[in-house]
Structure 1
């Protein structure tokens, strides 16, 4: 028994010796990226037809849990704690989600700061449309409508159907789509949608061309399409006010192995590409959606009077103050100094009394100096940074500003010297007049 116990101890020691370093390198507690991802599909065949995309997530360290969307045991949380950090919904046909999942549960999931990737197609159910609508995106409701483009359709081995288009109208943002840029057209077959014009949070990432419209293939056009032209979005993203991110695509095939590997040529163009831009587009956009890029954090927020180091309990009018903070950006592996010239500080009470653009040292430290205005009350040091593709920074720190005390005023103000002179000259003149009046006739 003693030898058996000793062998088990040695086995455990060997396991921890080799496994612990691997666990430490694979999990970064400071990482803002999602790690536990639930993938819901309406057909398990998607695991093989979209394996390249799913494998790209696994290769980057994500833990995928692929389940049928109708699984009766589905749940996102228990006792107020969520089991997953992100949800990928590749189940356009599902009429009713399993377990305790519904549109309201998924909205709560996003409202709690988690991320969502949703893909649709021409068979999209009302449930999926409702989820997209809750996120500020409205799919075309015309039955069996798809995006059709008779000008920029795709010429591929998959066929020359004009509902298979070669889209290249991409957003100009290296934060969202990566610094390498996507040069190949993107194969797209599916629904068009409109980003709610009243929403300030929705962004069209891939738009249709001016010649595209939404309708049935082969059907005669008798009325104006519901959505058409460059105003029609193909793939959109939403960044909520709590910095949760949502990606919505009207095409599930966009993520498929077949579209990833297919050659593509846009109608009317002589350029033929051996491989479409789908894989690069899907991977880069997913990196942004899951916070591998464009995620900012602040540190070392500090303010003090110039010449001092400690934060005061309050400022006095006309004091000279210094404000500083650190801003870092997550690059997918670690935090790097963020560099920008458009970060601003407001010294705020009902409205900004001071608005200063922060300088930076190139190492992530932002700072500025200013004189406290000649107004007393309760102010705020406020930084509101909202830049396309980046998480929003909202910092506010309250500080009172007092007037001079009675013993802090200058005894003789240079600007008042004429009044001092007038007072003393009046007294001297009265003294001289009294002498003359009393002692001279």
Structure 2
């Protein structure tokens, strides 16, 4: 028994480093991705997009959307870091997956890509609604543009659109400008203006509208112009990221390789911007760009290094935090001039902009207000395209003790003079009254 016990201990000591490495996340990038398909033919017709993900280190697992064995979690643990729905026509998911399971998946901080199409089912439309967008209610409607369509020898109904109305954000779409328009054929969706979490990444032109291309319009279309979103993204409050689009074809090899010429333009591009656009936006969706982390939050009195248990009113203090941005391969210093800290109790008593040393360190100094109570250092940094930072640290602030006040206050010198003059006057009066005849 003694030898067997020693062998077990030795085995555990050998395996322990490997187990630690296996369960310690080195990067914020999601790696395990479940791809649900209507048909396995999509795996080959959209292979360029899938291969680009694999080359960046993603582990893709392909399943039919109605497979009875699929599941997002097992024993309370999620099996995947992200979910791609390339199954616009599915009426019911297989296994334990349903709309509620997908919502819980996102609520747990995981990422999601939803691609609908002309034949989008009510199930996929419901998923889109839960994500904050509304697809056109007409099941036969498509986005039509008689001015901003893509020139094509076989396209006569102008449902093949060449769109170049991108969101202006280098964080979301990368620093390299997308020169060629994006080919899009599918259904449009609308975004509620009241929902600040949903952003239109690719919008239709003012001349576009959503209707059945095979029928004449008898009533005005419900979706028109730039209100039609072709591709939208969502960054939830828990920093989960979502992509919603009404076209599965825009991910296809055919659209990736196809040339494009927008109607009215003399420029013909040999290759559409679909591959660059979807590659760059997928980097954002999977947290390869625009992902921030904050470390080493510190505060102390000026001239000291240790963090105190509490502060006294009117103390001079210093606050600092290190913020880094994930570049896709490593953590780089985050450079910004709009990171602020609040010294907060019910409302901010102090609001200071942190100065940066361009190496990731943000710091400032200020005086504790002349109010005692329980305060918080709060950093709420929200910027377009970046994960939101919410930092808070609680600290009590006490008043002066009775023996910490100044003995003689210059402002009270007149009162001191009045008291001593009264004492001197009383002494003189008493002396004169007692010894005068």
User: 1:136-189 CA distances to partner (integer Å, 9 max, x unpaired)?
Assistant: 111011121011111111113563431111111100000000000212110111
3-state DSSP of counterpart to 1:424:
helix
Give the Cα–Cα distance (whole angstroms) in 1 for the partners of residues 73 and 376 of structure 2.
38
Give the number of equivalent residue pairs: 418
Displacement after TM superposition at 1:437 (Å): 3.6
Give the Cα–Cα distance (whole angstroms) in 1 for the partners of residues 181 and 170 of structure 2.
17
Partner of 1:43: 39
Q: How high is the TM-score relative to the length of structure 1?
A: 0.92
Give the Cα–Cα distance (whole angstroms) in 1 for the partners of residues 330 and 376 of structure 2.
32
Partner of 1:82: 78
Displacement after TM superposition at 1:29 (Å): 3.1
Whether 1:33 and 2:17 are equivalent positions in the alignment is no
Moved more, 122-131 or 221-230: 221-230
Partner of 2:342: 346
User: 1:29-84 CA distances to partner (integer Å, 9 max, x unpaired)?
Assistant: 32101101011110111111101000000111101101111111111110011111
3-state DSSP of counterpart to 1:247:
strand
Give the Cα–Cα distance (whole angstroms) in 2 for the partners of residues 158 and 176 of structure 1.
34
User: 1:270-290 CA distances to partner (integer Å, 9 max, x unpaired)?
Assistant: 121111100000100011000
Displacement after TM superposition at 1:440 (Å): 4.2
User: 1:74-109 CA distances to partner (integer Å, 9 max, x unpaired)?
Assistant: 111100111111000000000011111110111111
2:54 pairs with one of 33, 52, 58:
58
Unmatched runs of 5 consecutive residues or more in structure 1: 1-19
Partner of 1:114: 110
Mapped contact 1:153–1:160 kept (Cα < 8 A): no
Give the Cα–Cα distance (whole angstroms) in 2 for the partners of residues 361 and 45 of structure 1.
52
3-state DSSP of counterpart to 1:370:
strand
Whether 1:408 and 2:401 are equivalent positions in the alignment is no
2:122 pairs with one of 123, 126, 133:
126
Moved more, 177-186 or 160-169: 160-169
3-state DSSP of counterpart to 1:285:
helix
Q: How high is the TM-score relative to the length of structure 2?
A: 0.93
Partner of 2:7: none
Partner of 1:365: 361
Give the Cα–Cα distance (whole angstroms) in 2 for the partners of residues 288 and 385 of structure 1.
18
Mapped contact 2:120–2:139 kept (Cα < 8 A): no
Give the Cα–Cα distance (whole angstroms) in 1 for the partners of residues 301 and 366 of structure 2.
10
Displacement after TM superposition at 1:432 (Å): 2.5
Displacement after TM superposition at 1:201 (Å): 0.7
Give the Cα–Cα distance (whole angstroms) in 1 for the partners of residues 25 and 54 of structure 2.
18
Mapped contact 2:125–2:134 kept (Cα < 8 A): yes
Whether 1:291 and 2:319 are equivalent positions in the alignment is no
When the two chains are superposed, the root-mean-square deviation of aligned CA atoms in Å is 1.6
1:382 pairs with one of 361, 378, 387:
378
Give the Cα–Cα distance (whole angstroms) in 2 for the partners of residues 62 and 157 of structure 1.
38
Mapped contact 1:157–1:262 kept (Cα < 8 A): no
Displacement after TM superposition at 1:239 (Å): 0.6
Whether 1:174 and 2:205 are equivalent positions in the alignment is no
4+ runs of 1 displaced by more than 6 Å?
none
Unmatched runs of 5 consecutive residues or more in structure 2: 1-17
Mapped contact 1:322–1:368 kept (Cα < 8 A): yes
Mapped contact 1:39–1:66 kept (Cα < 8 A): yes
3-state DSSP of counterpart to 1:47:
helix
Partner of 1:223: 219
Partner of 2:148: 152
